[in-house]
Every structure is written in structure tokens, then in C-alpha cells.
Structure 1
């Protein structure tokens, strides 16, 4: 994987006008991808479908989410559905089965939780990723006509 590209907000120090324009264009490009189709896939059922209906409107309102993120969102919803189904199985049967063996739902739930956390972070749904977004937004400077004159080379 190549070097991670920083947008304007997290950049410290001086950058050239050309670099600033490139980074502004990259940020604007995030909103130019095809819009996310809000129809859930037909195979999502139960809790996974409920999660889709809950998160998609929230994501569309705050994050430059696009059709390219579709499979990540589906995977996130499946992971949440799996967590809830496993929890219901554990609640009904216990963490240990009657034969003394551990309930396989515990291991499955644990893996689904790890997957869900990773996917939520990738989609900007975790507290850490939202804090980074908020921090970057707070660092944005208002457009100043005088500043733009000074930046012209």
C-alpha cells in the first residue's frame, strides 16, 4: 500500500499553493462519486436489515458515502446481525453447552464484533473516526478574500 495522502486539514507546516489546490480537489472529489443506493440487498434479513435501515440515513447525512462503500455497509450490517443472533443463542443456551463444551456462538460472536469494529472505523462510524472528522472540520479556516490574494503567486 502506498503512502497515505493527507488532506488539507491534518497537514502541519507550509504547503505550496499547488499542493493546497490538489488537496482541496481531492476533498471535493469525495463528494463526486455515485450516490449510495439506499435499497438494502434482498439477502439482508432480520437484525442485519434493521441495522441497514438505521445506519444508511445517518451515513448519508454526515459522511461522503458512495456506491463504492456499498459492500462495506452490507458487511457491517451482516456483522451486527450475526452479533445479535449469537447473543440470542448464548442467552438461550448459555456460554457453556450441556456437554461441557463452549458454545460455538461465543467464538462466532467475538469474531463478528472484531469485524464490526473494523468496518465501523472504515465507515467513520466509530467514536475515534468521528472525533478525527470533527477535529479536522474545526481546523478549517473561513475563506478570507485577503488571504486568497496573499496566496496568489
Structure 2
């Protein structure tokens, strides 16, 4: 199976290893713009809690400013916000009840054990972490998707004569 296609901008950042001409790259860039999803339906799904809906709206406002969210991203962003809301709820319960809780086993012995929600909290954290990289919500994720200014160098005599072949 062949490699999956990369966006033109990413190809240019990696050095145009395919050695495409400027005309080919420009044509591909124009085709990519044609399939860019719209951003007119960025509303939180009804199944989100009120806390998660507030987070959804906050994230949409932030991500719209840098053109990182479209209509097709709504569900993934909703999953992130749902996990965030559940994480906050778990954290509140753990803070109220403490990290250790009493547990009575079948032999009627009472022991102190780690709070059961700690496991759930960890799973929610991992879910949030993986989804946050998709939207560039961490410094490392933003560094990966940042597009540095391309160095425009002056064309050599050969490039002027033969183009970018």
C-alpha cells in the first residue's frame, strides 16, 4: 500500500521531496482549497452537559481565530469537551471524598484503598490528551502544525532559464 497524500503546505515544509514544479504545487493547493469544509455549523451537540457546552463554545471561538476547526470537526471537539467536563466532575468528587476511601471486603474487614474515580480520571485525561493534539491545544502540538515563513531565495540563472524542474 502506498503512502497517504500530504497537504501541499506540508510538502513544502519538508522540502518538496517529490520535486513537483511550482505550477503543480499551485494547482494542488487550489484543489485542496476547494475541498476545505465550511465553518457555518459550529454548534455544540445537544447531548453535551451544560459545562461541556460552555467549554465547546470557548474552544470554537479560540480555534476559529486560527482556522483550525470546521463543521466536520464538531464531533471530535464535542468528545474532547465531554471528556473535559467528566474530568472536572471526577476531580471535584475526589477532592470532596479524598484520595483514599474506606472499603469493606467480604470478610467484613475495612481497608483504605485509592478512590475508584482515580482510574476514571486517568482514562479521561488520556482521552483529552489524545484529542488535544488533534486540535493543537498543547504547545508541542502547535509546534508540529506551525507553518514557518518560507525562505524566498533569489532564483539562480539556471532556474530563471529552465524554471523549477
Q: Output the TM-score relative to the length of structure 2.
A: 0.73
CA separation of 1:16 and 1:39: change in aligned 2, threshold 3 A = closer
Find the counterpart in structure 2 of residue 125 from structure 1. 137
Residues 1:125 and 1:82: Cα distance change in structure 2 (over 3 Å): same
Runs of 4+ in 1 over 4 A off after TM superposition: 147-150
Point out the structure with max Rg over C-alpha.
2
1:85 aligns with one of 81, 89, 103 = 89
8 Å contact 1:83–1:112 — kept in the other structure? yes
Higher helix share: 1
Aligned match of 1:95: 99
The answer as to 2:152 corresponding to 1:139 is no
Higher relative contact order (CA closer than 8 Å, sequence separation 6+) = 1
Distance 1:13 1:52, change over 3 A: closer
Q: CA 1:26/1:89 → structure 2, altered by over 3 Å: closer, same or farther?
A: farther
In the superposition, relative to structure 1, how do residues 129 and 27 fare at CA in structure 2: closer, same or farther (>3 Å)? farther
The structural deviation recorded for 1:8 is 3.0
Root mean square deviation of aligned Cα: 3.2
Q: Is the 8 A contact 2:42 2:70 kept in 1?
A: no
**Deviations, residues 7-52 of structure 1 (Å, cap 9, x unaligned):** 333222552216523552465356x212252321122124312211
Structure 2: tracts of 5 or more residues without a match: 104-111
Deviation for aligned residue 1:93: 0.6
Q: Which has a greater percent of strand? A: 2
Provide, for residues 59-86 of structure 1, a one-character-per-residue CA deviation record: whole Å limited to 9, x for no partner: 1111342111111100000111111001
Partner of 1:28: 33
TM-score normalised by the chain length of structure 1: 0.78
